[in-house]
Amino acid sequence: MHVWVIKDGEVLPLDPSSSRMRTGMLATELCRRGHTVTWWASTFSHQTKERLFDRDTVVRIDSRLQLRLLHGGIYRRNVSLRRAIHHRIVGRRFARAARSVPRPDVVVAALPTIDLAYHAARYCEASKVPLVVDVRDPWPESLVDKCPPLLQSVARRLLAYEYRRAAAALRGATAIAAITPGCLQWGLDLAGRQRSSADAVFALGAEPIRPVGAPTAAVRDVLTRIRDKVVFIYVGTFGHSYQLGLVADVAEDLDRRGVEEAHFVLAGDGQQLAGLRRRAARLRNLTVTGWLNRTDRGHLLAAASVGLAPLLSVPQALGNKVCEYLAAGLPLLTSLRGETGDLIRSHGVGYLYRAGDVTSLRAAVEAMLSAPTERARMAARSRELFEHRFQACHIYSAYADLVERLGAQVTAVAAAAAS
């Protein structure tokens, strides 16, 4: 088969040392099975906020995988008008470009972004191509969730057009896939349809964290400084949805009180980087690394003690960070509620604290510091949970099975019509 995967904002396989995320892992599995894959995305890196190319570009990764990157401008803030414009431009450029290339056998389009999923649904309806809409985050509902409660009804009215286009994308899906049962149910409800045998949940999952290769000199220095410490690590983007300043507040309080056993490592890039680096410069127990390649990331996660997910709660979501920390065998410390909170409570793999509450976070950190035996038990339970539920190789094998079934059904119908 020839499969299109459509996802903007994910790490692209332009650098062999980069970490693979959901679309990358699905594409890899489909290629391993002998299919060819075209990955549609943009020429802009959401993670580093850098322009990768200055025009539409096709990149051949290998004989089975190519990238079709659409130029849609840049943005500096994750929540901004410029980002919305970027999404609009990329969606429209996809709608035009898709008509000029050979038709695929199956399309897998992520939601978000709404624009690409919407135009993918229109293309698939017109071209009679089966479509999987993969719900990663319940946009625009998750945007509304971040508004103050008194303003949420106003936000829903302002985003009515986005709700309609997300619903149209989901109604056009041959199958809805989702990262959690909550995300799947949200998608079905918005589409106004019952669950079919093709609709499925595939957790984000992760690959085992095994440090391979030598770390860079900068990370070797970090590893030396955190040796014999209880290391609380955050790995990801430094967008304003993440309450990383709260982590720095706790680090500052512990440093002032002379608590020397804890060290906090924030690894990533984004709007908060400069401010966090200024704070780290005056704190002995806070390190800010900037963006990491896969090798450095693996070494730091292997040296860590606790994984941090200081995020405003998204009830239906269970994100990349949670899966990555489980893959590293780390207890979790997070302000997420919903499905993530349920997972932590039911499996005993970490502690929850109240979002935005420095006292609550500090108490959770101190609980981790004061109970090394329980921390070790949580780590063991994290590894066990990862092995049973979040191994990428099992998840994306099942996901590829679904894609193949949809392609086979189309082939069977075409053969019957021809005969």
Tens digit of each residue's pLDDT (9 = 90 or more) over 157-182: 999 999 999 999 999 999 999 999 98
In whole angstroms, give the CA distance from residue 341 to residue 68.
37
Span 217-389 CATH architecture: 3-Layer(aba) Sandwich (3.40)
Q: Is the pLDDT of residue 312 over 70?
A: no
Which band of pLDDT confidence, cut at 50, 70 and 90, is reported for residue 418? low
Q: What is the pLDDT of residues 210-226, one digit of tens each?
A: 888 899 999 999 999 99
Which band of pLDDT confidence, cut at 50, 70 and 90, is reported for residue 316? low
Instruction: Parse the chain into domains and list their residue ranges.
Output: 2-205+391-418, 217-389
State residue 185's pLDDT score: 95
Are domains 2-205+391-418 and 217-389 of this chain identical in fold? yes
Q: Summarize the confidence of residues 316-326 as an average pLDDT.
A: 80
State residue 388's pLDDT score: 92
Candidate CATH numbers 3.40.630.40, 3.40.50.300, 3.40.50.2000, 1.10.10.10; the one for domain 2-205+391-418 = 3.40.50.2000
In whole angstroms, give the CA distance from residue 320 to residue 111.
15
pTM: 0.86
pLDDT over 90 percentage in the chain: 74
**Angstrom distances, CA of residue 72 to CA of 59, 91, 183, 292:** 17, 9, 28, 25
Q: Is the pLDDT of residue 414 over 90?
A: no
